[in-house]
Chain A
Amino acid sequence: MKINLDFGAILERWPSFVSGAIMTLELAVIATVLGTAIGVLGAIARRSGHPVATRVAAFYVESIRNTPLLVQIFLVYFGLASLGVKFPAFTVAAAALTINVGAYTTEIIRAGFDAIPKAQIEAAEGLALSKPQIYWHVVMLPAIEKVYPALTSQFVLLMLASSVTSQISAEELTAVANYIQSDTYRAFETYILVAIAYVALSLVMRAGFYGLGLVMFPRRRRLGTPL
């Protein structure tokens, strides 16, 4: 038994790998930013007590959490196509990933909101702050701080899951790998490299979240307990 590995033909294609990795990172960043926005709004809606807003948010979360990502991507892709609208694969992929991660983020951030003691909100009310001011200044940051590790690992998971968008020919890392291995017939070597590239991207994201945490939570930085 001898494994014969030859990376030569693959390494020649490094610019394609790099552009694929960049697109993967772009998809992750877009979905993280927009997904966080959706998550915050979704969590507020779920907790609002408003009968329509609560149900709409719950329907969104449950329908996303109980269907496969690939099926969601196809629904967005073919749904838009059937409306006669043609978007680039990248746009569709970004939209589908955002919709997907927004649902998980809604649940995580809701847990963060729920973890804020009621007494904190009473104190803020006693100071005559308005509801939006209370959410923004008193609840938001401590809530996100409480769930920050869960939130960031969800976003790293999302970056890894973005490989599924290769199915609609978004030219991200996995799609690039698929092309290269079918050109070079060096499938094993190709996916070894791709796996290493994903690990590198994960590390980049984790480092990014660590840095963001230092900026967002100055108290933890000052007290020497950064997230």
Chain B
Amino acid sequence: MSDIANVATGATVVALTNVHKSFGPLKVLDGVTFDVARGDVLCIIGRSGSGKSTALRCIDRFETIDSGEIVVCGRKVHDPALDLRALRQDVGIVFQSYNLFPHLTIEENITLAPTCVKGTSKAEAREQARAALAQVGLSDKIQHYPEQLSGGQQQRAAIARSLAMRPKVMLFDEVTSALDPELTGEVLKVIEGLAADGMTMVMVTHEMGFARSIADRVVFMHRGKVHEHGTAAVLTTPTTPELAQFLGTGL
């Protein structure tokens, strides 16, 4: 544990090397390689079906890969002998559909994993929940049930739930795709705050303006490959016609 916790700034936290993955005859990832340094925000963009969500899900091993290597916080994710639950303590993931547990209050949603998985005491977990909710601006909703919250509030609560596990890297899978522009804004503000605090993040997003302002690195995926890879500048001056077309700046 300790050697992982002490990863120096700038060290690689997530590394995908020549990752291949097919669903039956459909090749989804075709030799994907990229990495994320500690404290960096990597945005994965691309058309629907280009493999970006799959690539993200492979990092937390929600999908197993056919070949290649994935190393996350020093753990070999492609290794069948991986300690999956240890990996998932290091990696937080937030989904498009929030997936809060409907029968639990927001507080219970947040304290569940720390008490069950880390053995945190109830009192301490509640304290952490309060802190995490303050971070996402939902302190007044702690005793509410998910269905009493708006979509944006639910998504922020889901982010707080992940944060309470103190992950070393956060994955966001199109977390604003189900939200209107106003609610999207409040969620993105939370993510901006995390970036400012130095959280390492990988996010799949269709919010190009946001990616432009927050991303340290951008990966453009096209037909299962990393088609273009660079700093946020590629979003303003793409070098491939495919990215230019995707951004609507070409032609």
The interface bits of chain A over 127-154 (1 if a CB of B lies within 8 angstroms of the residue's CB, else 0) are 1111001000110011001000000000
How far is A125 from B62 in the complex, measured between Cα atoms in Å?
Answer: 9
B21 — which chain A residues lie within 8 A by C-beta? none
Q: Which residues of A contact B93 (CB under 8 A)?
A: 126
* A contact residues around B116 at 8 Å (CB): 129-130, 133, 137
Which residue of chain A has its CB nearest to the CB of B147? A223
Sorting the interface of chain A by its residue count into under 10, 10 to 19, 20 to 34 or 35 or more gives 20 to 34
Q: Using an 8 Å CB-CB cutoff, how does the interface string of A101-143 with B read, 1 for contact, 0 for none? A: 0000000000000000101101111111110010001100110
Contacts of A2 in B (CB 8 A): none
Of residues A128, A141, A142, A223, which shows the largest number of chain B Cβ atoms within 10 Å of its Cβ? A128
Q: Which residues from chain A contact B162 at a C-beta distance below 8 Å?
A: 126-127
Q: How many residues of B contact A (CB 8 A)?
A: 28
Residues of A within 8 A of B112 (CB): 127, 129, 137
Let me know if B88 is at the binding interface, CB within 8 A: yes
B73-100: CB near A (< 8 Å → 1, else 0) gives 0000000000001101101110101011
A121 to chain B: closest residue by CB = B99
Known: A129-B116, A129-B117, A130-B85. A122 touches B102 (CB 8 A): no
A219 at the interface (CB under 8 A from B): yes
The reply to whether B165 and A142 form a contact with Cβ atoms under 8 Å apart is no
On chain B, the residues within 8 Å of A119 by CB distance are 95, 97, 99
Cβ contact within 8 Å between A141 and B103: yes
Is B145's beta carbon under 8 Å from chain A?
Answer: yes
When distances are taken between beta carbons in the complex, the residues of chain B under 8 Å from A198 are: none
**Contact of B101 with A by CB under 8 A:** yes
Contacts of B165 in A (CB 8 A): 127-128
Minimal beta-carbon separation of B24 from chain A (angstroms) = 19
Q: Which of B92, B99, B103, B113 contacts A219 (CB 8 A)?
A: B103
- Docked complex Cα distance between A127 and B89 (Å): 7
- Check A217 for interface membership: any CB of B closer than 8 A: yes
Indicate whether B174 reaches chain A with its CB closer than 8 angstroms: no
Contact A127/B113 with A120-B99, A122-B62, A145-B103 known, Cβ cut-off 8 Å: yes
Q: Known: A122-B99, A217-B103. Contact between A128 and B113, CB under 8 A? A: yes
- Contact flags B132-161 to A (C-beta < 8 A → 1, else 0): 000000000000010110000000001001
- A-B pairs with the 10 shortest C-beta distances? A123-B99, A127-B113, A128-B88, A126-B93, A128-B85, A128-B89, A128-B117, A119-B99, A133-B116, A141-B103
Task: Using CB atoms and an 8 Å cutoff, list the residues of chain B in contact with chain A.
Answer: 60, 62, 85-86, 88-89, 91-93, 95, 97, 99-103, 105, 112-113, 116-117, 145, 147-148, 158, 161-162, 165
Known pairs A138-B101, A141-B103; list 10 more (Cβ under 8 Å). A122-B95, A123-B100, A125-B62, A126-B60, A126-B91, A126-B92, A126-B162, A128-B85, A133-B117, A137-B101
Interface residues of A (CB under 8 A from B): 117, 119-120, 122-130, 133, 137-138, 141-142, 145, 217, 219, 222-223
